[in-house]
């Protein structure tokens, strides 16, 4: 009998404490939700998930809204991000984006293939005019640091970069109109080279 009373009191206590608790955006959301996969402050070292630290806020806002309205539909977006983003408010998204922009990305990538790296650097810096590929740095910045709605690429995980560049061959990220044109001139080995270069930045 005592056991039942104790249990009831415990439950009531927990509910009372829990109602006093309210979620906070930005760092709170990162800590509670996003960091499980993206790492604290968006600095994951798992190549399953992209680093978010240092990404320009306007780019992040566009992507998260794209997940929320299901217009960004690559496989992992569907698997993970559609659900997670569905309950985020516009204000949550703004605060999250501002928080990640203010974080410093980690740089853990190392050159594992010098030939690929040089080829990637060449495309990144100079493009491939014969195939209509503009220099990536024109939009993404000299070190791939990104700008406004254009994402940071420097230091991003190689596997993630490769996966996303290949996504642009299809139409699962319709908002990235420029990239759909660019990848038409990129072979799979070009993509491997660019990813090798960028991950080591």
CA distances from 182 to 22, 117, 140, 144, 166 (A): 45, 19, 13, 16, 11
Could you give the angle at the alpha carbon of 98 between the alpha carbons of 180 and 57, nearest 5°?
15
Query: Which of 15-23, 119-127, 175-183, 187-195 is the region at the interface with other proteins (rule: CB under 8 A)?
Result: 15-23
Asked if 105 and 152 count as a contact pair (C-beta separation under 8 A), the reply is yes
**Closer CB to other proteins, 30 or 145, in the complex:** 30
Buried b (16+ CB within 10 A) or exposed e, 99-132: bbbebebbeebeeeeeebbebbbbbbeebbeeee
Beta carbon of residue 80, minimum distance to other proteins (angstroms, whole number):
5
Give the chain's end-to-end CA distance (angstroms, integer): 65
**Closer CB to other proteins, 10 or 129, in the complex:** 10
Query: Which of 58-66, 84-92, 126-134, 145-153 is the region at the interface with other proteins (rule: CB under 8 A)?
Result: 84-92
Beta carbon of residue 18, minimum distance to other proteins (angstroms, whole number):
4
What is the rounded distance in angstroms from the CA atom of residue 144 to the CA atom of residue 41?
Answer: 20
Query: Which of 26-34, 95-103, 112-120, 137-145 is the region at the interface with other proteins (rule: CB under 8 A)?
Result: 26-34
Instruction: Name residue 147's beta-bridge partners.
Output: 150
Q: Which two tokens stand for residue 177?
A: 């109109």
**Closer CB to other proteins, 140 or 163, in the complex:** 163
Asked if 35 and 84 count as a contact pair (C-beta separation under 8 A), the reply is no
According to CB under 8 A, which one of 8, 86, 104, 171 is a site residue for other proteins? 86
According to CB under 8 A, which one of 25, 98, 159, 175 is a site residue for other proteins? 159
Query: Which of 2-10, 120-128, 139-147, 191-199 is the region at the interface with other proteins (rule: CB under 8 A)?
Result: 2-10
Summarize as ranges the residues that interact with other proteins (CB under 8 A): 3-4, 7, 10-11, 14-15, 17-18, 21, 31-33, 36-37, 44-48, 78-80, 82-84, 86-87, 159, 163
């Amino acid at each position: 009998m005592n056991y039942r009373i104790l249990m009831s009191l415990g439950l009531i206590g927990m509910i009372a404490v829990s109602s006093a608790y309210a979620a906070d955006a930005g760092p709170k959301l990162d800590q509670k939700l996003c960091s499980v996969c993206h790492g604290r402050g968006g600095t994951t070292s798992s190549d399953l998930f992209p680093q978010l630290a240092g990404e320009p806020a306007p780019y992040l806002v566009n992507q998260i809204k794209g997940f929320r309205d299901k217009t960004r539909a690559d496989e992992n977006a569907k698997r993970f991000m559609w659900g997670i983003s569905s309950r985020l408010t516009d204000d949550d998204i703004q605060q999250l984006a501002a928080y990640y922009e203010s974080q410093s990305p980690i740089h853990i990538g190392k050159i594992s293939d010098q030939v690929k790296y040089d080829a990637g650097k060449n495309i990144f810096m100079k493009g491939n005019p014969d195939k209509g590929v503009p220099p990536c740095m024109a939009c993404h910045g000299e070190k791939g640091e990104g700008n406004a709605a254009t994402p940071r690429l420097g230091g991003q995980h190689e596997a993630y970069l490769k996966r996303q560049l290949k996504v642009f061959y299809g139409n699962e990220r319709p908002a990235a109109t420029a990239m759909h044109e660019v990848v038409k001139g990129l072979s799979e080995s070009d993509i491997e080279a660019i990813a090798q270069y960028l991950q080591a930045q």
